[in-house]
A = this chain, B = another copy of it.
Amino acid sequence: MKKIINDPGTVVLDALRGMALAHPDLLRVREDPAVIVRAEAPVPRKVAIVSGGGSGHEPLHGGFVGHGMLDAACPGAVFTSPTPDQVAAAVSLTDGGVGTLLIVKNYTGDVLNFETAAELAAADGVEVRTVVIGDDVAVRDSLHTAGRRGVGGTVLLEKIVGAAAERGASLETCEELAHRVLDRVRSMGLALTSCTVPHVGEPTFALGEDEMEVGIGIHGEPGRRRVPVGTADDAVRHLLDPILEDMPLGEGDRVLLFTNSTGGTPLIELYVAHGVAERLLAERGVRVERRLVGPYVTSLEMQGMSLTLLKLDDELVELWDAPVSTAALRWGI
């Protein structure tokens, strides 16, 4: 295992300390339990937006803490759910007095631990609502999931709900908006290589010299099938077709297209794939009105990519465009 780390046992904490030093204007890190908190939290009379999940998907979620997006993120161990006390601390540190929305990716451990934390927070008098995102069309149940896995759509959800909260939307409005996004967002990914979890020390799975796994999960969970690595056109079709089968789009539909690297795939390849996806969508008459291209939901050093489509309307466009200032997404400020 070749990694720039000091110790597999402290890699998350070491990274958090580096992150705190790198972004003193945006965030603070609370170490025990580990929580990444927006610098100016709590923001009075603003609904707090809190998320989290296993580490190893950076910049998700800590890179999205800041104005216009998350108030706090709870980083679990690598590919491991955060504990209830992390989430409870995050809620307590960011409570602005008008409620908290928890954004949870649909993995069994995450759902359970956020639920426990929500109960703890409610006992402390904080009004908490929870939305669970399952946007991955690849498989119904999976290694760590009942139902669909939460993947790339999480970034879009956090941005849009974060923008609404920043504008003073109520907890009910934020929750309704989240469900509207969930109805309209779909993703699918593929992997060319595995990744190696530091405390495991061996690749999570093995792929043949010319194979890729279509429908991969962000922790390396099995996908739909293994196919030969073909062209970029092939790769994009393997992702786009199942998404469009699940959420039909056609002439005049407006979308945000998010072309994501799982970490090890370089930007030059990602732009090739993005261009292909735009072309294939244009051929169906779908209008790509907003884009996000880069490594935003990663699986450590895994080579691969995912596509996420969000069906837009005027309100969603406006919330997407609203100012944001985080380590990973920043505009308008």
**A residues touching B (Cβ–Cβ < 8 Å)?**
2-7, 11-12, 14-19, 21-23, 55-56, 58-59, 63, 78, 192-193, 209-210, 212, 229, 231-233, 235, 259, 263-276, 278, 288, 291, 293, 295, 298, 300-301, 303, 305, 325, 330-333
User: Do residues A6 and B266 form an inter-chain contact, with CB atoms below 8 A?
Assistant: no
Tell whether, in the assembled complex, residue B301 and residue A265 are in contact, meaning their CB atoms are under 8 Å apart: yes
C-alpha gap A267/B267 in the complex (Å): 15
User: Which of B23, B232, B271, B333 interacts with A19 by CB under 8 Å?
Assistant: B271
Whether B2 contacts A293 by the Cβ 8 Å rule is no
With a cutoff of 8 Å between Cβ atoms, the chain B residues found around residue A232 in the complex are 4-6, 14
Shortest Cβ distance from residue A306 to the other chain B in the assembled complex, whole angstroms: 12
**In the complex the two chains form, what is the Cα distance from A63 to B266 in whole Å?**
13
From B58, B268, B291, B298, A58 is in contact (CB under 8 Å) with: B268
Do residues B22 and A291 form an inter-chain contact, with CB atoms below 8 A? yes
Inter-chain contact A272/B5, CB cutoff 8 Å = yes
Contact status A22-B271, CB under 8 Å: yes
Residue of B nearest to A231 (CB): B6
User: Which residues of B lie under 8 Å from residue A18 when comparing CB positions?
Assistant: 270-276, 278, 293
> Please, which residue of chain B has its CB at the minimum distance from the CB of A229?
B2
Q: Given that A2-B193, A303-B301, A332-B333 are contacting pairs, would A15 and B268 also be in contact in the complex, using a CB cutoff of 8 Å? A: yes
- Report the minimal beta-carbon distance from A10 to chain B, rounded to whole angstroms: 9
Question: If the complex has contacts A2-B192, A2-B229, A276-B18, are A11 and B268 also in contact, measured as CB distance less than 8 A?
Answer: yes
B4 to A269, Cβ gap below 8 A? yes
B269 touches A5 (CB 8 A): yes
Question: With A5-B232, A18-B275, A330-B331 as given contacts, are A12 and B268 in contact (CB-CB < 8 Å)?
Answer: yes
- Shortest distance between the CB of A202 and any CB in chain B (Å): 13
CA distance A305 to B231 in the complex (A): 29
Give complex CA distance A293, B193 in Å: 25
The winner among A229, A272, A273 for most chain B CB atoms within 10 A is A272
Partner of A263, one of B3, B7, B231, B266: B266
Rounded to whole angstroms, the CA-CA distance of A233 and B5 in the bound complex is 8
Residues A233 and B58 in contact, CB atoms below 8 Å apart: no
List the B side residues contacting A288 at CB < 8 Å: 21
Which 3 A-B residue pairs are closest in the complex by CB-CB distance? A18-B275, A18-B271, A58-B267
- Cα distance, A266 to B195, chains bound together (Å): 10
Further 17 A-B residue pairs, CB within 8 A, beyond A7-B231, A18-B272, A325-B331: A2-B192, A2-B229, A4-B270, A4-B273, A5-B269, A6-B233, A11-B269, A14-B271, A14-B272, A14-B276, A15-B269, A15-B271, A18-B271, A22-B259, A56-B266, A267-B298, A330-B330
Q: Given A275-B21, A301-B303, do A63 and B6 touch, yes or no (CB 8 Å)?
A: no
Partner pick for A333 among B23, B233, B278, B331, CB 8 A cutoff? B331
